[in-house]
Amino acid sequence: MAEAGATSVVVVGGGAAGMSAASRIRRLRPNWSITVLERGDYVSFILCGLPYYVKGLVENEDRLVVYTPEFFRMKRSIDVRTHHEARSIDAANRLVEAVDVESGASETFHYDRLVIAAGAEPVRPGIPGLDLDGVFTLHSISSGMAIRSFLGSQMVRRAAVIGAGYVGLEMAEALRGVGAEVTLIEALESVLPGGEPEIAALVDEELRRQGVEVRTGQLAQALEGDGRVRRVVTSDGALDVDLVLVSVGVRPAVQMAREAGIEVGPTGAIATDRRMATNVPDVYAAGDCAEAQHMLTDRPAYVPLGTIANKQGRVAGISAAGGKAEFAGIVGTAGLKVFDLEVARTGLTEAQAREAGFDPVSALIRFPSHAPYYPGARDLTVKLVADGGSGRVLGAQMCGPDTVAKRIDTVAAALYARMSVADIESLDLSYAPPFATAWEGIQLAAQRLLDKLRR
Amino acid sequence: MAEAGATSVVVVGGGAAGMSAASRIRRLRPNWSITVLERGDYVSFILCGLPYYVKGLVENEDRLVVYTPEFFRMKRSIDVRTHHEARSIDAANRLVEAVDVESGASETFHYDRLVIAAGAEPVRPGIPGLDLDGVFTLHSISSGMAIRSFLGSQMVRRAAVIGAGYVGLEMAEALRGVGAEVTLIEALESVLPGGEPEIAALVDEELRRQGVEVRTGQLAQALEGDGRVRRVVTSDGALDVDLVLVSVGVRPAVQMAREAGIEVGPTGAIATDRRMATNVPDVYAAGDCAEAQHMLTDRPAYVPLGTIANKQGRVAGISAAGGKAEFAGIVGTAGLKVFDLEVARTGLTEAQAREAGFDPVSALIRFPSHAPYYPGARDLTVKLVADGGSGRVLGAQMCGPDTVAKRIDTVAAALYARMSVADIESLDLSYAPPFATAWEGIQLAAQRLLDKLRR
């Protein structure tokens, strides 16, 4: 219970960003009143675990919730209001109006500091049939539970996944894992659109090897059925299905913020400074509804990932509490497991680098995961991109059966530090025959690039 | 065959550093004459693979040789002289005298540029009995072959390893792997002396769990036997053995260089500048006989590792060929597999940091190798050290059943870039539930340190 006259903070959204912010504020301001408005039933949920929950690797949805609302209420004195959907902000009077989605009752909350961590919404493509039974998006714990419950109660022999981004590929694996035949439909010319084509080709190969039917360059045009979905009509013919997972991306939930006069940036997400402050005094934004500064393009980017939400939420919380913190920005790192492959990226692709005004050169090499004479070495692939003029490293993508994700982190650190290709070659990296080669793969790629740059 | 009047290069030593140098010179100078003098039977050999060869994981010693002497002679026109031991350098007249250790014949080689990559020699402790049969050091392909041949022809029920550094621990595993009872004798108070004590304690635990008898704080005083070694006498009693492996470190092979007036630095290894040039004109040094500048202490260090030898050899080769290259220095990264543990370090330990004049603070944490709800997560341990005054990261040590070595590389890159603890927290690292947590372990450690630093 807040003391009379204490500073009040309202946090909109109880995901990674919102709860990171609330927890930081509590830590720095033991006496402030903190209210979190969350429209769903859970807070501090881990959406990136949902594909593994659907696959059955995570037995129970509770495992995807770091702390319960009760934990925050009792242990951190944070007034967590689940099934409370914030509907509007009155910035002049510092009020947030929320509706209890169970009772329908409306309630108004005063704030001295506001943190908007409203998250993202799944993009719904403009095709008929999205409301049929058996058509899902994966954007919340309850949407994951709905899919798992559907799989448990219905015979799902054939499933279609629309969209071959990260979630689409993870869900293709999950649905194969529960025994379905899976067709992956992607409007663009390759899986993992926006990635390096050479890496996407290896992922494509793995998907087919695992029995996924990959249909790239095909547009899903309609979902058809009799109450329940039965067919997907694409630009290249139709297919029979029992379940459809739509994963064509997410967009930042910014409508309420925009209506309150909070600036939305060029990416369509809320614009902030490095303290995560918006243009409206005492209003902060963080997570999947907010932009992030890209350290390579020096432009705002929209990258809705949990790692970024955690960091931005922490900074927004410290800032809202009156402390000093800055979000350094992102370099564009992401990782993915798809069947027996690890895929990871950091920085810009060659195409993105060109678009951003660099003069990119690249090297693509295969290298062994450890000394070839030690048992168990596997082939990994890396593409390293640098600026031809300056030699600055711009990005890397990697793919292989193991240790890829943690290897990309070395390049992510190098990008953060604005290293050159020569710096990568000079790095003093760890080596022993069971887990590395004396020159790491990225160093071999750097040497290849140095030879090109010297020519 | 060299043209008359062509520039002549002599390289002393055919290991990683020497052959890297020779290969770089050949690439940059197609017409120069290049001679490599190697006292053993092999060049471009991989000494770090020897414990696995002894264990039987590497079937054949040829697998530890990257290229044969014939390859270098035929494909790279490098005149490789195996079983040629360089004995003296006449710097005034630019001559190296070498002896063919098979025929005993002496030969003199003229050089315009000289690269000394003479490597290191095993330290032989001053105790009686080192010449008994069954007493070995592990410092060359032939010494590995001798141990394997001994293990194949003799019944080795009990083995003692003297010295619990990297090679000692790898050999303890190898000898357990061939069925021997193994006693590890270390004069200092813990295994992995010079490392972080908390990490050493976990390694100690693993050794005991694997049935190795660990005797720390005990001095080996004598080896006894009847032609063949039968007993090790220690400061704490004697033990019966069939084989003794002495691994109490190596020292740089510098005698010939010192006699030629080439400067030896404070570490006892050959001093060079960043181009790997010694104080004597046109004479370069690289690898296990040379110092390396430590980027954290800004002082010379002696760290005889293959990764460094490769880099220094490459730079020495480019420099000798008249090109431009600089060795950036080292940050003190090393990795080790010991039974089911990976151990890795980079930078300074807390004790070394204090000794170097820093005011170190540290955080020790356990963290899961990936999302705890995803099957197969393992506990890893990291100790992160930073300077209390500046917040600069000084080092990290890590230990656990998997992915440790490649995780330390992120910190190695951070040290190279002189990052602060706050930078570590800000790094944009890869994440997906099957291979990481949303905050990486080193970031959790950084947060712990930041809380300490802010206090």
- State whether residue A63 sits within 8 Å of chain B by CB: yes
- State whether residue A178 sits within 8 Å of chain B by CB: no
Name which of B311, B345, B410 is nearest A413 (Cβ-Cβ).
B410
β-pairing, B120-122 vs B135-136, is unpaired
DSSP B65-105: BSS-HHHHHHHH--EEETTEEEEEEETTTTEEEEEETTT--
Q: Report pLDDT for B4.
A: 54
Cα three-residue angle A9-A10-A12, rounded to 5 degrees: 150
Catalytic, B48? Answer yes
**B48/chain A closest Cα distance in angstroms:** 7
Interface contact B419-A409, CB threshold 8 A: no
Interface contact A403-B407, CB threshold 8 A: no
- State whether residue B262 sits within 8 Å of chain A by CB: no
**Which residues from chain A sit within 8 angstroms of residue B337, using beta carbons?**
432, 434-435
Give the residue from chain B lying closest to A414, CA to CA: B413
Which of A2, A48, A127, A219 does the annotation list as catalytic? Answer: A48
Q: Report pLDDT for B454.
A: 81
Q: Residue A284: in which H helix or E strand, if any?
A: strand A283-285
**Which residues from chain A sit within 8 angstroms of residue B436, using beta carbons?**
335, 405-406
Q: Are residues B285 and B359 in the same domain?
A: no
- Asked if residues B276 and B296 have their Cβ atoms less than 8 Å apart, the reply is no
**Which residues from chain B sit within 8 angstroms of residue A406, using beta carbons?**
403, 406-407, 409-410, 430, 435-436
Cβ neighbourhood burial of B179 (10 Å; 0-12, 13-18, 19+): exposed
Residue A163 falls inside a structural domain: yes
Name which of B416, B419, B427 is nearest A412 (Cβ-Cβ).
B427
**B166/chain A closest Cα distance in angstroms:** 10
Supply the ipTM of this predicted assembly. 0.96
Total tally of structural domains belonging to chain A = 3
Give the residue from chain A lying closest to B439, CA to CA: A307
- In the numeric block, which tokens belong to residue A425? 């070659």
Interface contact A428-B416, CB threshold 8 A: yes
pLDDT range class, residue B10, cuts 50, 70, 90 = very high
Q: Can you tell me the distance from the alpha carbon of B116 to that of B252, in angstroms, rounded to the nearest whole number?
A: 11
Residue A301 falls inside a structural domain: yes
- In the numeric block, which tokens belong to residue A257? 């913020």
Interface contact B410-A408, CB threshold 8 A: no
Q: Report pLDDT for B376.
A: 95
- State whether residue A408 sits within 8 Å of chain B by CB: yes
Interface contact B16-A438, CB threshold 8 A: yes
Interface contact A307-B342, CB threshold 8 A: no
Q: What is the mean pLDDT of residues B382-391?
A: 97
Interface contact B408-A430, CB threshold 8 A: yes
From chain A residues 318-337, the ones with a CB under 8 A of any chain B CB are 327-337
- State whether residue A156 sits within 8 Å of chain B by CB: no
**Which residues from chain B sit within 8 angstroms of residue A432, using beta carbons?**
48, 335-337, 405
Residues contacting residue B368 through CB under 8 Å, at least 6 positions apart: B377, B378, B379, B380, B437
Residue A126 falls inside a structural domain: no
Q: Are residues B274 and B385 in the same domain?
A: no
DSSP B27-61: HH-TTSEEEEE-SSS-SSB-GGGHHHHHHTSS--G
Give the residue from chain A lying closest to B65, CA to CA: A373
Interface contact B337-A438, CB threshold 8 A: no
Residue B439 falls inside a structural domain: yes
Residue A328 falls inside a structural domain: no
**Which residues from chain A sit within 8 angstroms of residue B435, using beta carbons?**
335, 337, 342, 405-406
Residues contacting residue A220 through CB under 8 Å, at least 6 positions apart: A125, A127, A160, A162, A185, A187, A232, A233, A234
Q: Are residues A139 and A238 in the same domain?
A: yes
Tell me which of A275, A294, A320 is where a domain ends: A320
- Asked if residues A87 and A81 have their Cβ atoms less than 8 Å apart, the reply is no
pLDDT range class, residue B141, cuts 50, 70, 90 = very high
Q: Report pLDDT for B1.
A: 41
- State whether residue B55 sits within 8 Å of chain A by CB: no
- State whether residue A356 sits within 8 Å of chain B by CB: no
Q: What is the mean pLDDT of residues B351-377?
A: 97
Q: Are residues B159 and B179 in the same domain?
A: yes
Q: Are residues A350 and A305 in the same domain?
A: no
Interface contact B428-A48, CB threshold 8 A: no
For B45-82, the pLDDT digits (tens) are 999 999 999 999 999 999 999 999 999 999 999 999 99
Q: Can you tell me the distance from the alpha carbon of B330 to that of B317, in angstroms, rounded to the nearest whole number?
A: 18
Give first-to-last CA distance, chain B, whole Å.
69
Q: Are residues B338 and B312 in the same domain?
A: no
pLDDT range class, residue B5, cuts 50, 70, 90 = low
- Asked if residues A235 and A221 have their Cβ atoms less than 8 Å apart, the reply is yes
Count of A-B CB contacts under 8 Å: 212
- In the numeric block, which tokens belong to residue B247? 């691994």
Interface contact B409-A407, CB threshold 8 A: yes
DSSP 8-state secondary structure symbol assigned to residue B165: S
Of the residues B27, B324, B429, the best mutation for testing chain A's interface (the one with the most A CB atoms within 10 Å of its CB) is B429
From chain B residues 410-449, the ones with a CB under 8 A of any chain A CB are 410, 412-417, 419, 423, 425-436, 438-440
**Which residues from chain A sit within 8 angstroms of residue B415, using beta carbons?**
428
Interface contact A416-B406, CB threshold 8 A: no
Residue A327 falls inside a structural domain: no
Residue B327 falls inside a structural domain: no
Q: Are residues A107 and A181 in the same domain?
A: no
- Asked if residues A15 and A141 have their Cβ atoms less than 8 Å apart, the reply is no
Q: Are residues A270 and A167 in the same domain?
A: no
Q: Are residues B23 and B60 in the same domain?
A: yes
Interface contact A46-B373, CB threshold 8 A: yes
Give the residue from chain B lying closest to A450, CA to CA: B325
- In the numeric block, which tokens belong to residue B243? 């084989």
**Which residues from chain A sit within 8 angstroms of residue B295, using beta carbons?**
428
From chain B residues 84-103, the ones with a CB under 8 A of any chain A CB are none
**B235/chain A closest Cα distance in angstroms:** 33
**Which residues from chain A sit within 8 angstroms of residue B192, using beta carbons?**
none
Q: Are residues B66 and B88 in the same domain?
A: yes
Q: Are residues B266 and B316 in the same domain?
A: yes
Interface contact B405-A430, CB threshold 8 A: yes
**Which residues from chain A sit within 8 angstroms of residue B19, using beta carbons?**
none
pLDDT of B391 > 60? The answer is yes
Interface contact B431-A335, CB threshold 8 A: yes
Q: Select from B432, B382, B422 the least CA-distant residue to B405.
A: B382
Q: Select from B361, B383, B385 the least CA-distant residue to B441.
A: B383
Interface contact A428-B408, CB threshold 8 A: no
Q: Can you tell me the distance from the alpha carbon of B455 to that of B449, in angstroms, rounded to the nearest whole number?
A: 10
DSSP A316-372: HHHHHTT-------B---EEEEETTEEEEEEE--HHHHHHTT--EEEEEEEEESS-T
Domain range spanning residue B431? 334-454
Q: Select from B298, B449, B450, B451 the least CA-distant residue to B384.
A: B449
Name which of B310, B425, B438 is nearest A439 (Cβ-Cβ).
B310
Interface contact B57-A426, CB threshold 8 A: no
Interface contact A413-B408, CB threshold 8 A: no
Q: Report pLDDT for A455.
A: 72
Residue linked to tokens 């790491």: A440
Q: Report pLDDT for A1.
A: 41
Name which of A63, A409, A428 is nearest B307 (Cβ-Cβ).
A428
> Where do runs of H (alpha helix) occur along B124-234?
141-153, 166-177, 197-209
CATH number of the domain that A209 lies in?
A: 3.50.50.60
Q: Report pLDDT for A2.
A: 42
> Average pLDDT for consecutive 10-residue bins of chain A (455 residues)?
73 98 97 97 94 95 94 97 98 98 97 98 96 97 97 96 98 98 98 97 98 97 97 96 98 98 98 98 98 98 97 98 97 97 98 98 97 96 97 98 94 98 98 96 97 85
Q: Are residues A364 and A414 in the same domain?
A: yes
Q: Can you tell me the distance from the alpha carbon of A211 to that of B377, in angstroms, rounded to the nearest whole number?
A: 27
Residues counted in chain A: 455
Q: Residue A68: in which H helix or E strand, if any?
A: none
Name which of B373, B406, B436 is nearest A49 (Cβ-Cβ).
B373
pTM of the full predicted structure? 0.96
Residue B1 falls inside a structural domain: no
Name which of B58, B331, B435 is nearest A428 (Cβ-Cβ).
B331
Tell me which of B248, B270, B304 is where a domain ends: B248
Tell me which of A198, A227, A248 is where a domain ends: A248
